[in-house]
Amino acid sequence: MSKDSPLVTADDRPNKGPEELGEELLITRHLRQNKQPIVEEYPDFSPASHTKSSHNPFMIRRLWLLFAQVTTVALALLFVLATLRPDWIAPDSLPGQAGGALLAVPGPSPKGMAASGTDLPSFRQAAAKAMPAVVYVFSRQNRQAPRHPLYDDPFFRRFFGQPPGESPRDPSPRGSGLGSGVIVSPDGYVLTNHHVIEGADQVQVSLSDGRKASARIVGTDPETDLAVLRIRLENLPIIEFGEPSALRVGDPVLAIGNPFGVGLTVTQGIVSALGRKQLNINTFENFIQTDAAINPGNSGGALVDTQGKLVGINTAIYSRDGGNLGIGFAISADMAQQVMQSLIKSGKVSRGFIGVELQDVNAAIAESLSLPTAEGSIVASLQPGGPADKAGMKVGDVIVAVNQAPSRNTAELLSLVAALSPGDKAKIEVLRNGQRTGLELTVAERPQRD
């Protein structure tokens, strides 16, 4: 050992005499007999002297290899189990496997929706709130079928009998209709579609609680396809009007009605579009488009939001064979409420009228008339002596505004004019020979359409 080495061995110890060695042996034997630890003091001992001996590279390598082998085997077993028996690993997290279950991520439910037992969003509260106010509407009419005069001749009937298809007790064949309606007032007023009760002699309303009552037709408005009925019953469930203007594309909605007469049915979808016009369904249009299933028998039923409030009256569907294709239309509740109030008040809807026949300005017309844009409505004809004729309007004029409100097409112009009160003055702005001209006229009342 070197002189600088901190370790001391037996060879490095200083030489001692026999007497000294004997004393050490006696002391050592005495300590061992008394089971006391033997501690030898070495002059240069320090913990750093054992550092090299405690970190054996060979031992560390063996431990690392052992860890790598155990990890590899564990991963291999996990892969085999996940492939062959995944239900052993997570029996409640894999849908479609034996013992599996579909889990929903918990979260706050939108207003008006309830959380079901499995934490899935549910519209049951909205449906339960609105369904009692939706009714079945049954209509019946006596159809006077055209007959040949000879059928009324007693001599002819004596030899040839009754006309085909005629009953001896009921010479007039009957027609029936089926639709839906919505109770909107505790006084018994029911909103439905005009085409549901068109031409009906008898109308009956059936509630979801089993009660039935004959209904009186308060009034109809063919130009919006709306009608108001009235029934006389106590403790009627009513629906609350919502705010269609607050709807946005993508909002969930429910369609409630009596499709095909199977009974009260709720279907769910979203708002596909808002403010649909120029569909040539009605004269005045403001439709909510939805993909909620609307089928024959749903006409006049309710379109409600997630709070169970009325936002539309189901009216029409786009279909090639009469079935649902996911394109349905409901009249906005705002328009329905305005029409209903007019029908209840006066039995008709009073609208403004200026006496013109119009056509939309397209690109070809705009180019031929040197118009800056393809917007507005061109006057195709005038009613002789009508408000527009008296004000000096001419065929070929392009109407672009009513009382400073811009009109981009015929649908917008009809709505602006219809909103005017008969007898009021109105300023109509037209383009004539490239010049903008203002005409003042007195609004007349729009004739009622049968």
Give the closest residue to 347 by CA, choosing from 257, 260, 221.
221
5 CB burial (10 A radius; 0-12, 13-18, 19+): exposed
* Active-site residue (options: 139, 194, 221, 225): 225
Q: Which residues contact 365 (CB under 8 A, 6 or more apart)?
A: 359, 371, 374, 378
Backbone torsions φ then ψ of 200, nearest 5 degrees: -75, 140
CA–CA separation, 279 vs 287, rounded Å? 9
CA 138-142-148 angle, 5° bins: 150
Count of alpha carbons within 13 angstroms of residue 31, beta-carbon side: 11
- Contacts of 258-261 with C-beta under 8 Å, sequence gap 24+, read 258/134, 258/136, 258/178, 258/179, 258/180, 258/297, 258/298, 258/301, 259/293, 259/294, 259/295, 259/296, 259/297, 259/298, 260/295, 260/296, 260/297, 261/136, 261/178, 261/297
Is 450 one of the annotated active-site residues of the chain?
A: no
Q: What 8-state DSSP symbol labels residue 393?
A: -
CA distance 422 to 447: 11
Catalytic residue among 139, 180, 272, 299: 299
Closest CA to 244 of 332, 306, 309: 332
Catalytic residue status for 299: yes
The catalytic residue among 180, 195, 342, 377 is 195
In degrees rounded to 5, what are phi and psi of residue 324?
A: -80, 130
Q: Quick check: is 195 catalytic?
A: yes
CA gap 417, 74 in Å, rounded: 80
Enzyme catalytic residues: 195, 225, 299
